C-alpha cells in the first residue's frame, strides 16, 4: 500500500483502519515518557483517540473514500463470496489481518465473505462482533463520503449482500 502523508486540520474527516471514520476535533499536547508530543484529537462514533502528528503518513490512516470508490465497493459486496477457512483459529487470524487493512475494497470483500459464512453456518460471537463493527464503519464512511441518508446506505449494503448470497445454501 502506498503511504499518503495527510495535511490535517480541525474539522477534517479521516479513516483509521481500526476505529473507522473520525473527525479531528482539535490538537493536544501530552507528555509521554518524559517527551512532550503533539496529537490530533480524533472523535469517532464510539471513542475519542489521540493521533500523533507524525503518524499522518501511516498506513493506518487514510482520507475518506470517494463516491466512485463506494460504487466499486458496492460491486465487490454483491459478488459471489469466497469461502473462509473452516479452522476457527486460521479463519479468525485471517479476519483480523484483513480487518486491519485500511483499503475500502478489502473491507468490502471481508464483509461480503463474513456475511456469507454467517448465513450459511453458525459463527463464533467474536466473528459476529467483528462483522457488525466492519459494517458500521463502512456505513459511517459511506454516509459521510456520499452525503447520503444512513437508512439508504444500509439498504444498499443489504441489497448488495443479498445479491452475493443469492445462490448459496442458507442454514
Q: Record the pTM.
A: 0.86
75-131, pLDDT tens digit by residue?
999 999 999 999 999 999 999 999 988 899 999 999 999 999 999 988 899 999 999
- List strand residue ranges (DSSP E) for the chain, in order: 13-16, 20-32, 35-43, 48-52, 61-63
Residue 59, phi then psi, degrees to nearest 5: -70, -10
Report all structural domains of the chain as residue ranges with CATH numbers, in order of start.
13-63 (2.40.10.170), 67-164 (1.20.58.1290)
DSSP helix/strand/coil, 143:
helix
**Sheet hosting strand 13-16, strand order edge to edge:** 48-52, 35-43, 20-32, 13-16, 61-63
Amino acid at each position: 500500500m502506498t503511504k499518503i502523508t495527510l495535511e490535517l486540520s480541525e474539522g477534517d474527516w479521516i479513516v483509521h483502519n481500526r476505529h473507522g471514520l473520525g473527525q479531528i476535533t482539535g490538537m493536544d499536547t501530552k507528555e509521554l515518557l518524559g517527551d512532550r508530543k503533539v496529537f490530533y484529537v480524533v472523535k469517532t462514533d464510539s471513542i475519542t483517540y489521540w493521533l500523533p502528528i507524525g503518524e499522518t503518513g501511516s498506513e493506518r490512516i487514510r482520507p475518506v473514500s470517494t463516491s466512485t470508490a463506494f460504487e466499486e465497493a458496492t460491486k465487490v459486496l454483491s459478488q459471489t463470496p469466497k469461502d473462509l477457512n473452516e479452522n476457527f483459529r486460521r479463519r479468525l487470524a485471517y479476519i483480523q489481518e484483513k480487518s486491519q487493512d485500511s483499503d475500502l475494497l478489502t473491507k468490502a470483500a471481508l464483509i461480503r465473505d463474513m456475511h456469507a459464512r454467517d448465513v450459511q453456518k453458525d459463527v463464533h460471537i467474536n466473528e459476529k462482533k467483528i462483522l457488525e463493527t466492519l459494517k458500521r464503519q463502512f456505513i459511517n464512511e459511506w454516509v459521510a463520503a456520499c452525503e447520503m441518508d444512513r437508512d439508504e446506505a444500509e439498504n444498499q449494503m443489504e441489497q448488495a449482500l443479498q445479491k452475493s448470497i443469492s445462490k448459496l445454501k442458507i442454514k
